[in-house]
Structure 1
């Protein structure tokens, strides 16, 4: 494997349009989740990470995921996911259960109450996603944009 280094002369400067996109993207990466979180907290007393946790659990077989898989799905550390699940467990939204497969790990399980809270919060999240993001993309090829974002993320 070769070590790739670039001399300043070999790197092509960004065009004004490229510079605008890169700067705007870095702002969106931080501002969009904050805005959506604020909407969910204000309207549903639910943080965005709690909402995403419930979404991933609701989509999993038997509404359960191993804690380590849930932390990966939510893009947070295992210790952070443990704190989130503990908080949600105290509200009756999630339960923890020993993994039946090996008995060592833990699963997070979305309760009926958690599924009901998710259904109640869904319209708020949808309206927030539209207001803060999708409404600003009018006229763009969303299929191509989605594919490009997926390529970047992977």
Structure 2
């Protein structure tokens, strides 16, 4: 058994700041999305990913990887979005076993309506308080962590 490398004061402060800030920002984003469209943040992210995809559609397995959820969690979210008429499912033309999530016109309209409010929240509570150098540093640091987590 190895000795635990406890966080020093600087490391602990960075971890607590990241954790607390990410929770607070997530809460603000959830409040805005619920108020404007009755959506959760993961549901919004699904709509964004689909809107950016060719033909506004993605295989469910790829979409699950992109929004960082399990396949079963994605299936649940897609079902909820289908009930709202924002997403539909289709069989993958190149693989009968594959399922595509497809952004509907109603889904695109919803996204166009609520995206400005989402950006306003992200700006108000994060982006507008950082310099471009701070944003580049934050991006580099988080991409390093992401690389480790994705392996």
Match of 2:91 among 83, 98, 118: 98
Given the two structures, how large is their TM-score scaled by the length of structure 1? 0.85
Any conservation in 2 of the 1:36–1:132 contact (CA below 8 Å)?
no
RMSD over aligned CA atoms reads: 1.9
TM-score where L is the length of structure 2: 0.87
Instruction: Look up the match of 1:80.
Output: 73
Equivalent-residue separation in structure 1 for 2:79 and 2:99 (angstroms): 12
SS in 1 for 2:68: coil
Is 1:32 matched up with 2:25?
Answer: yes
User: Which residue matches 1:52?
Assistant: 45
Asked whether 1:134 is paired with 2:130, we answer no
Q: State the SS of the aligned residue for 1:76.
A: coil
* Number of residue pairs the alignment of both structures matches: 147
> Which residue, 106, 111, 115 being the options, matches 1:118?
111
Other-structure match for 2:34 = 41
The runs of 5 or more residues in structure 1 that have no matched partner are none
Q: Gapped runs of 5+ residues in structure 2?
A: none
Quickly say closer, same or farther: Cα 1:66–1:79, change in 2 above 3 A: same
Q: Residues of 2 paired with 1:127 and 1:76: CA distance?
A: 25
